[in-house]
Amino acid sequence: MPFASVFLAVVHDGSHDAPAAVDYAVDLAASKPGHLTAYVGVPRVVLPAEYPGISFGEMQAEIERKFDEEAAAWASDLRRRASAGGGAVDVELVKDVAVPMSDAFARAARVHDVAVIGAPKDASEFQALAIHRLLMDSGGPTIVVPAGWSHDSSAKKVVVAWDGSAQAARAARDALPLLARAAEVEVLSVTGDKRTPKNVGHAIAANLSRHCRSVRVTEVPAGDREPGIVVQEHAATTRAGLVVMGAYVHSRLREWAFGGATRTAIRDGKAPTLLSH
CATH number at residue 62: 3.40.50.620
- Output the pLDDT for position 45: 72
Kindly state whether residues 169 and 85 are assigned to the same domain: no
Kindly state whether residues 185 and 123 are assigned to the same domain: no
Round to whole Å and give the CA distance between 98 and 114.
22
Round to whole Å and give the CA distance between 235 and 159.
7
Cβ–Cβ under 8 Å, residues 141 and 115: yes
Among candidate residues 145, 176, 197, the one where a domain is terminated: 145
- Output the pLDDT for position 135: 95
Kindly state whether residues 32 and 111 are assigned to the same domain: yes
Kindly state whether residues 138 and 220 are assigned to the same domain: no
Q: Helices 261-268 and 125-137 sit at what angle, rounded to 10 degrees?
A: 130
Kindly state whether residues 14 and 114 are assigned to the same domain: yes
Establish if 271 belongs to a structural domain: yes
SS3 53: coil
Among candidate residues 145, 167, 192, the one where a domain is terminated: 145
- Output the pLDDT for position 15: 55
Helix (H) or strand (E) holding 20: helix 19-30
Q: In which domain, by residue range, is 194 found?
A: 157-276
Kindly state whether residues 136 and 222 are assigned to the same domain: no
Peptide bond into 177 cis (omega under 30): no
Establish if 76 belongs to a structural domain: yes
Kindly state whether residues 185 and 94 are assigned to the same domain: no
- Output the pLDDT for position 70: 83
How many folded domains does the chain comprise? Answer: 2
Alpha-carbon distance values, 75 to 8, 85, 103, 152, 218 (Å): 12, 15, 20, 21, 42
Establish if 209 belongs to a structural domain: yes
Kindly state whether residues 23 and 117 are assigned to the same domain: yes
> Which of 86, 110, 242 shows the shortest CA–CA distance to 176?
242
Residues of the chain with pLDDT under 70: 1, 14-17, 47-57, 85, 121-124, 193-195, 250-259
Establish if 265 belongs to a structural domain: yes
Establish if 241 belongs to a structural domain: yes
Kindly state whether residues 138 and 169 are assigned to the same domain: no
Kindly state whether residues 124 and 222 are assigned to the same domain: no
Kindly state whether residues 173 and 223 are assigned to the same domain: yes
Establish if 212 belongs to a structural domain: yes
pTM (global) more than 0.85? yes
Kindly state whether residues 16 and 141 are assigned to the same domain: yes
- Output the pLDDT for position 258: 38
